[in-house]
């Protein structure tokens, strides 16, 4: 009998749902969040696979589709905490040099100090600070092949406001990518559906040969989250 292959989608798992009893002092929203976490197959899988969060599977699935994390690639992860995307990148770009062939480099930056990740250089940095692009290129040892961002602005609770805030953050990340990407490079960023995505698409299409909007299976179905993947940077 053929051995079953392990998929990354999390679909098809039929474990019984766990219900969380409301606790005194806990808000309903907190109870619902906890229940969602306990019943999320990606949360359980991240724990089993040693990833720092379920978001690791989003970049893993995007990479399966677009294949931008390749051996020898130089990668920048903006807003990299808690580090799941960096963890996914390490074996794929061969940043530890454990495989024969090209050895990649990963630089992760975030506003907060992070626990180290083997195979990644992590820095506390605001990528919007003046000179941040030059610092990142120095740390990388050259220009980047990939700039990726899973950043989200702090939630205000107002859907349209949150949409505009994250789109402004995406645009800032895109301009940063323009400054650090090598010709032919790739830019990946989280967005939220809400009407302002067209401006970002227009901007990216001026600089990249292909621009796609993707919702990977690991992105929750009831979330307006999606990802823009721009390939073939034209400098």
Which residues are marked as active site?
A: 190
Question: Count of residues for the chain?
Answer: 235
Q: Which tokens belong to 215?
A: 């919702």
Distance CA(59)–CA(115), nearest Å, equals: 20
β-bridge partners, 213? 228
Taking residue 23's Cβ as centre, other Cβ atoms within 10 Å add up to 10
C-alpha 2: how far from chain center: 34
Residue 126 has which token pair?
């605001």
DSSP state of 99: S
Distances (CA, A) of 117 to 50, 88, 161: 12, 11, 34
Residue 190 near residue 163 (C-beta atoms within 8 A): no
Pairing of strands 181-192, 121-124: unpaired
Helix ranges (H only) for the chain are: 28-39, 41-49, 56-66, 84-93, 132-140, 159-180, 197-205
> Which of 201, 198, 191, 187 is closest to 162 using CA atoms?
191
């Amino acid at each position: 009998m053929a051995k079953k292959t392990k998929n990354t989608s999390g679909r098809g798992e039929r474990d019984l749902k766990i219900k969380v009893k409301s606790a005194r002092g806990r808000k309903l929203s907190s109870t619902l969040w906890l229940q969602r976490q306990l019943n999320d197959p990606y949360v359980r899988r991240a724990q089993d696979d040693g990833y720092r969060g379920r978001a690791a599977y989003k970049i893993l699935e995007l990479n399966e589709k677009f294949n931008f994390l390749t051996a020898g690639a130089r990668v920048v992860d903006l807003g990299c905490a808690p580090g799941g995307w960096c963890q996914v990148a390490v074996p794929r770009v061969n940043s530890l040099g454990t495989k024969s062939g090209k050895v990649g480099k990963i630089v992760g930056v975030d506003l907060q100090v992070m626990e180290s990740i083997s195979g990644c250089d992590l820095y506390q940095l605001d990528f919007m600070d003046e000179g941040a692009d030059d610092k990142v290129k120095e740390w990388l040892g050259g220009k980047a092949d990939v700039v990726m961002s899973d950043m989200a602005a702090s939630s205000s609770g107002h859907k349209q406001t949150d949409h505009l805030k994250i789109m402004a953050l995406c645009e800032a990340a895109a301009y940063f990518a323009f400054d650090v990407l090598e010709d032919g490079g790739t830019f990946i960023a989280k967005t939220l559906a809400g009407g302002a995505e067209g401006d970002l698409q227009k901007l990216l299409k001026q600089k990249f040969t292909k621009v796609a909007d993707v919702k990977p299976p690991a992105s929750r179905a009831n979330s307006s989250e999606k990802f823009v993947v721009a390939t073939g940077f034209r400098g």
